[in-house]
Amino acid sequence: MCFRQRCKPPATPRTPRQRGGGCSVPESTQTIGPVDSLRKIGNQESNFERRYYISSRELTAEQLAVAVRGHWAVENRLHWVLDVSFGEDASTVRKDNGLYVVSCGTGGGVRVLRGRRCQGRTESGRNRTLYIATPSLTLPLGRGRQSAALGMEDNGGLSSRGCFLMIETLFTQALGLVAPWQVDEVIFKPENGRIDFQVGFGAAIHACPACGAAAQPLHDRLARSWRHLDFFQYEAHLHAEVPRVPCAGCGKVTQIAVPWAREGSGFTLLFEALTLMLAPTMSVLAAGRLLRVRSRRLWRVINHHVGRARARESHARVRAIGVDETASKRGQTYLSVFYDLDAQRLLFATPGRDKVTLGKFASDLRAHGGQPTAITHVSMDMSGSFQAGAAEHFPAAEVCFDRFHVVALSSTALDEVRRAEVKTAPELKGTRWGLHKKPADWTVKQTDTMYWLQRSNLKTARAWRIKQALRSIYATATTPDEANPLLKRWLSWASRCRLEPFKRLGRTISKHLPGVLNGFHPGKHNGRVEAMNRALQEARARARGYRRVENFIAMAYLIAGKLTHLPASPFAPFLPVPHETT
């Protein structure tokens, strides 16, 4: 609130003029501040003016001065232009609604002419700015014809000024901006395939971003730009002069954080969320072509958000893990991957496949709130390096040898027998895939072949029956106690079968019998791990390989990590709700 008095410069300051015995002051008043203004133009007589500002907040003299300047910025930017440049005060239009039409035209004209600035001087010698419109600027969106006489469009009763207010308000709401941020200007350049939004900061004071001290004046503004989601088929870019705040409390000059982008990024948060949504479904190179951005910039976005999301993940409830390796490049280059068997998510990935990798996982588990001593089960294959690492870093955990790897060892033994016998029994040629398939998946030809093989006296037929007996144990037994007698009976058969590959397999299983029996615990196997590894290899195939192993690891976390602290999809509020079917 402000009231003023005008007079010649007095010898001594005077108190405000009282009308009717005094002036009423609101009960919520906390600050009353006088501001003296002395104006002198050329040789004219100077004008002295004292204004009294009333505020409901308790302000210091510096804070009051900043607020006053912000108040008069509106007067200088809009009212002075209307009164002096457009001559509204000198207008003699009075007939019918002519005054309303002139006011709408001049008000809308001010907003149209804010496009390109040309510095000049007025007759009074004061520096002024002239705004010149260009064809690339956005005009009011109308529904009818354009009036040549008034320079306005027939917009269903809306004035030109109202149309511009509506457009800028529309884009302000569409971008999710809140006060004091707002869209001041929209520049549309279809020949360049882009639309630019100039975002303004409408406050003169702001809290210190460093220490939180309230009502600090602005120091300066730095121009920044960000890439946003496309506007139809056009690239959208946001531009803003971001203020910096000099704090009288902490003594720092800090830049205000913008609400639509993270610090140091050239993209808005919604654009980065779209990148994270596209990356798991296509190669980053293809996503970059779709978004018209270099893939290296997208990789920086992915690595930043994946790293920050992983840092916030908690592994305190991890009790059972699955360990496996997956190829990262050609030439025997592998990653060791660690999965949570209960939550079915990727916990950790690191290059290599030795016992050092389990030490790295134990350190990462502690960093995320977990404890290696809390791990009760570790599912793995019979790799000696993995066994040594589990014994060293997870001493309280039961080692569970994955059932799929045990059956795979029996399939390898069967193939050794077939390759040795096919030299003397040519009729075994073409039986390899039928021997490895389940009977339910046989083709008609494979069914006939296997029917003949089961009634032959070949070693391959005997080896296939031993392998099928091992698979039936895993299909019927559900606990280690149920599997123990069945497995011992199978081991007796394998040791007396006179087939060296299966005798060797029997000795291997006997050596690791406790771990093999632990693999019969429900859910303590690497079935889900193998499925996730397949998803990672599909991503690697889509990308035609990854040059940097760090990028492959980041993509693995993005696909299989089930990270809960990633930015939400920009289209999440509009996704259709699936209907239940009965």
Q: In this structure, is residue 307 part of a structural domain?
A: no
> Which sign does the torsion angle of CA 210, 214, 217, 223 carry?
positive
Q: In this structure, is residue 350 part of a structural domain?
A: yes
pLDDT of residue 572: 72
> Which sign does the torsion angle of CA 183, 188, 189, 194 carry?
positive
Low-confidence ranges of the chain (pLDDT < 70): 1-25, 40-43, 45-46, 70, 72-78, 85, 100, 108, 110-166, 573-582
Q: How far apart are CA 138 and CA 167, in angstroms?
A: 9
pLDDT of residue 157: 46
Angle 389-391-392 from CA coordinates, rounded to 5°: 65
Burial class (CB in 10 A: 0-12, 13-18, 19+), 565: exposed
Label the pairing between strands 216-217 and 220-231.
Answer: unpaired
Do 391 and 427 lie in one domain? The reply is no
Do 53 and 111 lie in one domain? The reply is no
Do 333 and 472 lie in one domain? The reply is no
Label the pairing between strands 194-201 and 181-189.
Answer: antiparallel
Do 492 and 369 lie in one domain? The reply is no
Q: How far apart are CA 399 and CA 388, in angstroms?
A: 11
Q: How far apart are CA 161 and CA 213, in angstroms?
A: 38
Q: In this structure, is residue 22 part of a structural domain?
A: yes
Q: How far apart are CA 147 and CA 105, in angstroms?
A: 12
The secondary structure of 412-446, three-state, reads HHHHHHHHHHCCCCHHHCCCHHHHHCCHHHCCHHH
Range of the structural domain that residue 390 is part of: 312-401+525-542
**3-state secondary structure at position 498:** coil
Q: In this structure, is residue 479 part of a structural domain?
A: yes
Do 393 and 479 lie in one domain? The reply is no
The number of domains in the chain is 4
Tens of pLDDT, residue by residue over 394-412, are 999 999 998 889 999 999 9
pLDDT of residue 170: 79
pLDDT of residue 30: 81
pLDDT of residue 391: 93
Do 130 and 250 lie in one domain? The reply is yes
Q: How far apart are CA 84 and CA 174, in angstroms?
A: 35
Type of residue found at 371: Q
Can you give the CATH number for the domain in which 537 is found?
3.30.420.10
Do 11 and 139 lie in one domain? The reply is no
Q: In this structure, is residue 280 part of a structural domain?
A: no
Structure tokens at 547: 């040059």
Do 510 and 531 lie in one domain? The reply is no
Angle 21-23-24 from CA coordinates, rounded to 5°: 120
Do 413 and 392 lie in one domain? The reply is no
Do 394 and 411 lie in one domain? The reply is no
pTM above 0.85, yes or no: no
Q: What do you get for the CA distance between the two ends of the chain, in Å? A: 65
**Count of alpha carbons within 13 angstroms of residue 568, beta-carbon side:** 6
pLDDT of residue 363: 95
pLDDT of residue 38: 74
Q: In this structure, is residue 567 part of a structural domain?
A: no
Do 479 and 383 lie in one domain? The reply is no
pLDDT of residue 432: 86
From 129, 132, 128, 153, select the one nearest 141 (Cα to Cα): 153
Q: How far apart are CA 449 and CA 88, in angstroms?
A: 100
- Other CB atoms within a 10 A radius of the CB of residue 451 amount to 10
Q: How far apart are CA 325 and CA 315, in angstroms?
A: 21
Q: In this structure, is residue 286 part of a structural domain?
A: no
Burial class (CB in 10 A: 0-12, 13-18, 19+), 48: middle
Q: In this structure, is residue 376 part of a structural domain?
A: yes
Structure tokens at 444: 């008609």
Q: How far apart are CA 438 and CA 37, in angstroms?
A: 95
